[in-house]
Structure 1
Amino acid sequence: MDFAPTTEQELVVDSVRKFVEQECYPHEQEVERTETVPAEVGEAIRRKAIENGFYAANMPAELGGGGLDTLTMTMMERELGRTSFALQAFVHRPSNILRACNDEQAERYLHPTIRGERMDCLAMTEPGAGSDLRGMKTTAVRDGGDWVINGTKHFISHADLADYTVLFAATGEEETPRGKRKKITTFLVDHDTPGLEVREGYRSVSHRGYHNCILNFDDCRVPARQVLGEEGAGFDLANTWLSASRLTVGTMCVGRARRAHEMSVEWSASRKQFGQPIGRFQGTGFKLADMATEIEAAEMLCLRAAWLHDQGRMSDQDAAMAKLFASEMLARVTDNAVQIYGGMGLMDELPIERFWRDARLERIWDGTSEIQRHIIARSLLRPHGA
């Protein structure tokens, strides 16, 4: 495996880094203060992302996307991870699950989303079912040529900006060697569909300005043509999406950790105590060394998983390891950054406290650290019949 970037990859990294610094950094404090991205700012970022070829870069070129391979996409995500999640979200990367669209669905959903004319969001999590996807209570019942949906989803990212939802709902039960289990089906639901209410969600201390929403379905009727993929195959679709998403979370953690570390190094070199830079004291210098080592290790895990994905060989274990280590690494790096900055590390004049707050969420969404460890342990034990 050779992870040395090609000339093309270096160009992508440099271009995205400059884009983030010029288009996103200047708005970070306002987003933190107001907890929202002004409409004109979001639209400007989206428009410039399209002009620069960053928008939908994860989608195949034959579909109108950027056509980047997973390894190059991982490098791009790392650079986007350096800025506010609320801002870089306007450089939209449609969910890979949309590639399951049939021809008619592609014309109505996939292609307009790639072009930036429509925006998707994904609805799996419920108040009583987070990591346990099979435990969802939202149901879809067949009624003639329609499906009638009832239930509630929450923690749905950027549903307030989206035009439609990729919804997972229970559509019956099936017998398995371990007993009955729910069949999960995926639906495409337009936000102007009667019976669907998109409500403001909870106020989070992490990723301010990147809103979560609550979706209420009350006899929401959608035609059968809105089923994405095969009826009852939603669980397989979800697993396909989650692996790629976990790799994205991991690599964005690396980007944010690099920015926190760079700021910590600069501070340690310029801040003086007892007549010398604080970086010369072992208590600070060793922290910087450990931070740098962990960041490199996390990045290698992410790059390795991305390389394996391009070879068609990435396992759930590979993605879980990348997400687990990178998210927990970010927690340690940002905590050390606060310690290095001292009191100023907790003041909102600097982004250090934001990095620290934002890091906490990464160990929860897209599968908690406990879920990642479960996936890894299961992969290790399965070959032994345990």
Structure 2
Amino acid sequence: MNFGLTTEQQMLVDSVKAFVEKELMPYENEVEQTDDVRPELIKQIHERAINAGFYAANMPEDLGGGGLDHVGLALLERELGRTSFALQYAVARPSNILRACNDEQKERYLLPAIRGERVECLALTEPNAGSDLRSMQTRAEQDGDDFIINGNKHFISYADVADFIVLFAASGVEETKRGPKKLITTFLVDKETPGLTVRKGHKSVSHRGFHHCELFFDNCRVNKRQVLGEVHHGFDVANTWLGATRLTVAAQCVGRAYRALDMALQWAAQRKQFGQAIGKFQGTSFKLADMVTEIEAANFLTLSAAWKSDEGTVTDSDYAMAKLYATEMLARVTDHTVQIFGGMGLMEEVGVERLWRDARVERIWDGTSEIQRHIISRALLRPFEQ
């Protein structure tokens, strides 16, 4: 692995950073105060991201996407991570899970998503099925050429503005050595489908403006042509998507941590107590040293996983280690930043407390820290199993 960026990669970093500072950061306070991103602002960001070549950067060029490799995507996500999640999410990168679309589904779902004409959301989590997805109770029962879907989902991000839903539902049961196990099927469900209701969910302290919704399915009828992948093989398409998503989370956490460090450095150099800048006191300077060391470690761990993805050698443990370390690093870095700012660090006007609040959810969604540790430790112990 070459630890230096190529000329093209550095140009990408510089371009995305400039885009974030010009097109996204000026609206951060508005989003924080209103807990919303205006539809016209979403449209504006969409259009400017498309013109800049950042929209659908994760999709192949032959489908109309940006064609970035995994390292390029990690660099892009790192720079986007410096700003409000609700704003940078408008620079849409259609979920990789849509790559499983067949020819008919590509025309209806994938290609419009790449062109910015349609937006998807992903529906896995339920009130009683978080990390244990096999316990999901939303079910899909086949009825001729259709499936009848009943149940509900919650914590579904972006469902309020999405045009269609990538839905995971239990579609059967198989017998295994460990007992019955639910079979999962993935569906592409248009939001206007009769029997589907979308409601705004609980208000989160993290990522204001990026809403979590509840989905209710009441005899919602979906044709078999809307099955993504194969019936009963929903986890096959999910596993491909989950790895890339965890890498995205890691990269964005690194970007957010770099921004927190920048704010902490400026404050430590300017704020004076006892006749000198607080950065000269070991209580502050050692925090800064620890912060930058951890950020750089997380950055290299994330880029290493991205590089392995491009080489075809990446493992679930690589993704898990990147997400685990980067998300927990961000928690420590933002906490140190608040401490360096002192009382001002908790004031909304300063912006530090937003980074601190936003950091908390990263250790939970897309697989909790405990799940990541389970993945890593299971891989370590697997060679010793009899």
TM-score, length-scaled by structure 2: 0.99
Instruction: State yes or no: 1:79 paired with 2:79.
Output: yes
* Post-superposition CA distance 1:218-243 (Å, at most 9, x none): 00001010000011111121111111
Q: Once the 2 structures are TM-superposed, how far is the Cα of residue 171 of structure 1 from its aligned partner?
A: 0.4
1:157 matches 2:157: yes
After TM superposition, give the deviation of residue 175 of structure 1 in Å. 1.5
Distance in 2 (CA, whole Å) between partners of 1:89 and 1:19 is 13
Task: Map 1:30-179 to 2 at 5 A.
Answer: 30-179=30-179
Shift of 1:313: 1.2
* Residue of structure 2 equivalent to 1:14: 14
**Residue-by-residue CA offset, 1:13-37 (whole Å, 9 max, x unaligned):** 1010000001111110110011001
> What code does the residue aligned with 1:27 have?
Y
| Pair 1:271-2:284 in alignment | no
Shift of 1:178: 1.8
Name the counterpart of 2:216. Answer: 216
Distance, in Å, in 2 between the alignment partners of 1:104 and 1:94 is: 17
Q: Equivalent residues in 2 for 1:206-245 (5 A)?
A: 206-245=206-245
Q: 2 CA distance for matches of 1:4 and 1:177?
A: 49
Instruction: Give runs of aligned pairs for residues 228-307 of structure 1, distance below 5 A.
Output: 228-307=228-307
Q: Which amino acid aligns with 2:202?
A: Y
Aligned residue for 2:142, secondary structure, equals: strand
Give deviations 1:225-264, integer Å, cap 9, x for gaps. 0000011111121111111100100110000000000110
Q: Distance in 2 between matches of 1:215 and 1:286?
A: 47
How do residues 338-349 of structure 1 correspond to structure 2 at under 5 angstroms?
338-349=338-349
- Counterpart-to-counterpart distance in 2, 1:218 and 1:313: 43
Q: Distance in 2 between matches of 1:289 and 1:336?
A: 11
Whole-angstrom CA distance in 1 between matches of 2:123 and 2:43: 24
Show CA shifts across 1:12-68 (max 9, x none): 110100000011111101100110011221111111000000000000111110000
Distance of 1:110 and 1:41 partners within structure 2: 23
Residue identity matched to 2:73: M
DSSP-derived class of the 1:367 partner: coil
2:333 alignment counterpart: 333
Q: Distance in 2 between matches of 1:10 and 1:120?
A: 30
CA distance in 1, matches of 2:309, 2:178: 31
| Superimposed CA distance per residue, residues 343-383 of structure 1 (whole angstroms, 9 cap, x where no aligned partner) | 11000011100000000000000000000000001010111
SS at match of 1:156: strand
Unpaired runs of at least 5, structure 2: none
Identity, in percent, stands at: 67
- Spell out, residue by residue over 1:102-161, the C-alpha distance to the aligned partner (whole angstroms, 9 max, x if none): 000000000000000000100000000001110000000000110000000000000011
The number of residue pairs the alignment matches comes to 386
2: CA distance between counterparts of 1:253 and 1:372? 16
| Structure 2: distance between partners of 1:232 and 1:301 | 34
Report the more deviating stretch, 329-338 or 228-237: 228-237
Rounded Cα–Cα distance in structure 1 between residues aligned with 2:208 and 2:156: 14
Residue 28 of structure 2 aligns with which residue?
Answer: 28
Query: TM-score with structure 1 length normalisation?
Result: 0.99
Q: In structure 2, what is the Cα distance between the partners aligned to 1:150 and 1:3?
A: 50
Offset at residue 177 of structure 1 (A): 2.2
| Structure 2 CA distance for aligned equivalents of residues 65 and 334 of structure 1 | 34
What is the distance in 1 between the residues matched to 2:142 and 2:110?
25
> Could you tell me how far 1:302 is from its partner in structure 2?
0.2
> Following the alignment from structure 1 to structure 2, what is the Cα–Cα distance between the partners of residues 41 and 112?
20
Q: Which runs of 4+ in 1 moved over 4 A?
A: none
Deviation at 1:334, TM superposition (A): 0.2
How far residue 179 of structure 1 moved from its aligned partner, in angstroms, is: 1.8
Q: CA deviation at 1:3?
A: 2.7
Aligned partner letter, 2:287: K
